[in-house]
Structure 1
Amino acid sequence: MKTKGVRMYGKNDLRVEEFELPEIKDDEILVENISDSVCMSTYKAAILGKEHKRVPKDVDINPIIIGHEFSGNIVKVGSKWKEQFKEGEKFAIQPALNYKGTMWSPGYSYMYCGGDATYNIIPNEVMELGCLLNYKGEAYYEASLAEPMSCIIGAFHACYHTTMGVYKHNMGIVEGGNMAFLAAAGPMGLGAVDYALHGERKPRKLVITDVDEDRLNRARNIFTDNVSKKSGVELIFVNIKEKDNPSEYLRLFTGGKGFDDVFVFTPVKQVVEQASNILGRDGCMNFFAGPTDTKFSGELNYYNVHYASVHVMGTTGGNTDDLVESLRLTEEGRINPAVMITHVGGMSCVPETVLNLPKIPGGKKLIYTHINMELTAIDDFKRKGEKDLRFAKLAEIVVENRGLWCPEAEKYLLENW
């Protein structure tokens, strides 16, 4: 059968094409993609091409389908998997495979498996590793965003702390502790705030910094004082752009003791060094942002490493358990991945969106593979509604939902575009 998708042929070479899918094998599954959210990791793969660790060296001859944060419907199931998966069911996917020591992953490595396509084939190893999951939630975008949320959840679980004189790692953030998210008013930062407020283990105080007042105002509008009170976490938003000594200023929120857990959401030398400066005793810095510069570095206070037990760790992606937790919390209504979404579009806008992702303001860009629609900011729905009543209706829907994308908006989009 034919599918339409976005394929990578090399550095900065993304093409929207229609091409033939082979008949599935007995150990494969054919799926229809409905939604895929664009990840900065896809941008990194697109600008690096075959130099990226997950991209095959022959991508110029055998192009791969991009996109790894996708969800949709199961269309056809190979005989091997018929007891576990049924046609017509929704699915979510964990793309971070660990298959026979390789770094292969849907959206990076496969000719026929990626999120930015109308249909694609899930290979056997995805099911073997338990990375194709049945999804019973209402909206497809929630399953797409379960992947980035799983990265956040995995990072929370990977933080660790110690007891003085006992050389044992106690995993997870400090419950009831002081936590800081630096450069965190972007999509992943907001997702992390949502999880910090509604996950199983919460800090007592959470400071969120950025240098963009518009992004901070959006964060304040989403995570209001009422939301903060309900969660039992004190939220503090800080624009550090005008602060003479940001590290000293931030330490004041802890009475000078420093923070137990500090997440860094951008690979900027000054921000990494700021994180080092605000760690308290046994503080854990989580370097969450993945740099493209292989020589990226910053200074770390090694005096505090030795005498105050401060430490640094990082994760790339979440595991399947993290994805399952993300789906469960979403289905229960405890977390709302829509806090990350600021733009919606169709497949034709994917190449330009991916290749210009760092230059496009806002948060997550959500793609619906079967529709024809230019990338549009949710904030622009009302303006576009002056000429297109469909956008006017979308604007009404999101306004009633605190300005956030929601299942009703997705349903209306899929029915009217």
Structure 2
Amino acid sequence: MKTKAVRLYGKKDLRLEEFELPEIQNDEILVDIITDSVCMSTYKAACLGEDHKRVPSDISSHPIIVGHEMAGTILQVGQKWQGKFKAGEKYALQPALNYKGSMDSPGYSYRYCGGTATHAILPHEVMEVGCLLKYSGESFYEASLAEPMSCIIGAFHANFHTKMGSYEHLMGIVEGGKLALIAAAGPMGLGAIDYALHCDRRPGFIVVTDVNESRLARAEQIFAEKAKKSGIELHFVNTANVEDPVSYLRKLSGDTGFDDVFAFAPVKAVVEQADQILGRDGCLNFFAGPTDTKFSAECNFYNVHYASTHTIGTTGGNTDDMIESLRLTEEGKINPAVMVTHIGGIDHAAEAVLTLPDKPAGKKLIYTGINLPLVAIEDFAELGKTNPLFAKLNEITKKTNGLWNVEAEKYLLANAK
């Protein structure tokens, strides 16, 4: 079977190509890919090329398919897995395989397995470690976004707290506590707000900061009413408009500081601000992954010693986190569409990856079976004046407060080129 895929040949060398896939082996599975959402980790892999820790050294002659936030349907099942999977089933993929200590991962390491493709072959290790997950939801984009949501869920689970006089670590954010999401009006921050409002360890007080007024306004539009219904006090703060952000945020917390703080940008000032607003036994999660191997920031070690503050970092989620993400989505408790701001086709996927930091927005959602420029949902109305496809998509997304939705996906797949 032929596939069309975006392949990495070297540093920032992404190419959209069509080529023949080999016949699957008895322990492999052939899949159709419908959606793949673009991750900052893919941009980092594209920039580093063969120097990336997950990317093979011979990609110039044996390129890999990029993209790992993928979803679609199963087309053909090798004999080994025929008792567990069937053709026609929907799936989501957990790319963090951790197979026998290997760092190999779909979207980074395989010639025939990556999300930015029309079809792919899943190697046996994906199934061996339980990373091919069945999905019963209506849409494909929600299954793709289960992977980034699982990263958020994993981060919330990884935070920990202590009891004075005890060495026991109590895992998870503080239930009913004070939560600060710093530099969090981007896609992962929005996902974190959604999860915080609907998870089983909900805080009682949330502050979300950013320096981009329009992104904060969009976040408030999406979540303000939901927070009221959840009984959670939610504040949005543009720290660029505050003379002393640390004092302001601490005062907002009631001068106690915050139990849990998540830093969503690898910026020295952001991390230091996050450290300075921790309360007693506060946990700082450095969520954003830097590309600078020497990235550092100052930390108040007096508070580490006397106030039991602590810092952790998380990257990715595990399979249990992914399953939780899918379950909450299928039950309608979280809506991963809050992360999506752009849609596009496979013909613009390479551009979407390479320009990711230059065009800050939410998640860019790629539909691999269509050709379509990368388009912002907020631009549907204007484009719809001359293009009936976008006129209809604007009509559909207006029903859900400007968010991508199941009806929009079905219409796009039925009518796009």
Class of the TM-score when normalised by the shorter of the 2 chains: over 0.9
Following the alignment from structure 1 to structure 2, what is the Cα–Cα distance between the partners of residues 402 and 214?
15
Which one-letter code corresponds to 1:27 in the other structure? D
Which one-letter code corresponds to 1:105 in the other structure? S
SS in 2 for 1:22: coil
Following the alignment from structure 1 to structure 2, what is the Cα–Cα distance between the partners of residues 18 and 332?
38
Which one-letter code corresponds to 2:18 in the other structure? E
Following the alignment from structure 1 to structure 2, what is the Cα–Cα distance between the partners of residues 342 and 276?
30
- Percent identical pairs in the alignment equals 68
Following the alignment from structure 1 to structure 2, what is the Cα–Cα distance between the partners of residues 160 and 229?
27
Which one-letter code corresponds to 1:230 in the other structure? K
Q: Which residue of 2 aligns with 1:83?
A: 83
Residues 370-389 of structure 1: pairs in structure 2 closer than 5 A = 370-389=369-388
Q: Deviations over 1:387-415 (max 9, x none)?
A: 11111000000001110000000000000
Residues 146-185 of structure 1: pairs in structure 2 closer than 5 A = 146-185=146-185
Q: Which residue of 2 aligns with 1:260?
A: 259
Residues 368-407 of structure 1: pairs in structure 2 closer than 5 A = 368-407=367-406
Question: Post-superposition shift, 1:232?
Answer: 1.6
Q: Which residue of 2 aligns with 1:292?
A: 291
Following the alignment from structure 2 to structure 1, what is the Cα–Cα distance between the partners of residues 319 and 278?
30
Q: Which residue of 1 aligns with 2:13?
A: 13
Following the alignment from structure 2 to structure 1, what is the Cα–Cα distance between the partners of residues 31 and 75?
5
Residues 310-349 of structure 1: pairs in structure 2 closer than 5 A = 310-349=309-348
2:354 is equivalent to residue 361 of structure 1: no
Which range is displaced more, 144-153 or 357-366? 357-366
2:93 is equivalent to residue 130 of structure 1: no
Q: Deviations over 1:24-78 (max 9, x none)?
A: 0000000000000000000000000011111011111110000000000100000
Which range is displaced more, 184-193 or 249-258? 249-258
Q: Which residue of 2 aligns with 1:350?
A: 349
Q: Which residue of 2 aligns with 1:274?
A: 273
2:127 is equivalent to residue 121 of structure 1: no
Following the alignment from structure 1 to structure 2, what is the Cα–Cα distance between the partners of residues 366 and 330?
17
SS in 1 for 2:305: helix
SS in 2 for 1:260: strand
Following the alignment from structure 1 to structure 2, what is the Cα–Cα distance between the partners of residues 243 and 97?
43
Q: Which residue of 1 aligns with 2:61?
A: 61
Which one-letter code corresponds to 2:383 in the other structure? K
Q: Which residue of 2 aligns with 1:42?
A: 42
Which one-letter code corresponds to 2:13 in the other structure? D
Which one-letter code corresponds to 2:58 in the other structure? D
Question: Post-superposition shift, 1:378?
Answer: 0.3
Following the alignment from structure 1 to structure 2, what is the Cα–Cα distance between the partners of residues 92 and 72?
7
Q: Deviations over 1:110-137 (max 9, x none)?
A: 0000000000000000000000011100
Q: Which residue of 1 aligns with 2:211?
A: 211
Q: Deviations over 1:193-220 (max 9, x none)?
A: 0000001110000000000000000001
Following the alignment from structure 1 to structure 2, what is the Cα–Cα distance between the partners of residues 301 and 132?
43
Q: Deviations over 1:276-319 (max 9, x none)?
A: 10000000000000000000000000000000000000111000
Question: Post-superposition shift, 1:361?
Answer: 2.9
Q: Which residue of 2 aligns with 1:27?
A: 27
Following the alignment from structure 2 to structure 1, what is the Cα–Cα distance between the partners of residues 13 and 205?
45
Following the alignment from structure 1 to structure 2, what is the Cα–Cα distance between the partners of residues 10 and 357?
18
SS in 1 for 2:283: strand
Question: Post-superposition shift, 1:230?
Answer: 1.2
SS in 2 for 1:91: strand
Unaligned runs of 5+ in 2: none
Following the alignment from structure 1 to structure 2, what is the Cα–Cα distance between the partners of residues 242 and 230?
29
Which one-letter code corresponds to 2:30 in the other structure? L
SS in 1 for 2:99: coil
Question: Post-superposition shift, 1:360?
Answer: 1.1
Following the alignment from structure 2 to structure 1, what is the Cα–Cα distance between the partners of residues 235 and 209?
8
Question: Post-superposition shift, 1:242?
Answer: 2.1
Q: How many residues align?
A: 416
Which range is displaced more, 352-361 or 275-284? 352-361
Question: Post-superposition shift, 1:229?
Answer: 1.4
SS in 2 for 1:100: helix
Which range is displaced more, 183-192 or 240-249? 240-249
CA RMSD of aligned residues (A): 0.6
SS in 2 for 1:359: coil
Question: Post-superposition shift, 1:100?
Answer: 1.6
SS in 1 for 2:404: coil
Q: Which residue of 2 aligns with 1:93?
A: 93
Q: Which residue of 2 aligns with 1:71?
A: 71
Following the alignment from structure 1 to structure 2, what is the Cα–Cα distance between the partners of residues 81 and 380?
44
Following the alignment from structure 1 to structure 2, what is the Cα–Cα distance between the partners of residues 414 and 351?
20
TM-score for both structures, normalised by structure 1: 0.99
Following the alignment from structure 2 to structure 1, what is the Cα–Cα distance between the partners of residues 351 and 161?
43
Following the alignment from structure 1 to structure 2, what is the Cα–Cα distance between the partners of residues 152 and 183?
15
Following the alignment from structure 2 to structure 1, what is the Cα–Cα distance between the partners of residues 135 and 10?
33
Following the alignment from structure 1 to structure 2, what is the Cα–Cα distance between the partners of residues 362 and 212?
11
Unaligned runs of 5+ in 1: none
Question: Post-superposition shift, 1:233?
Answer: 1.1
SS in 2 for 1:25: coil
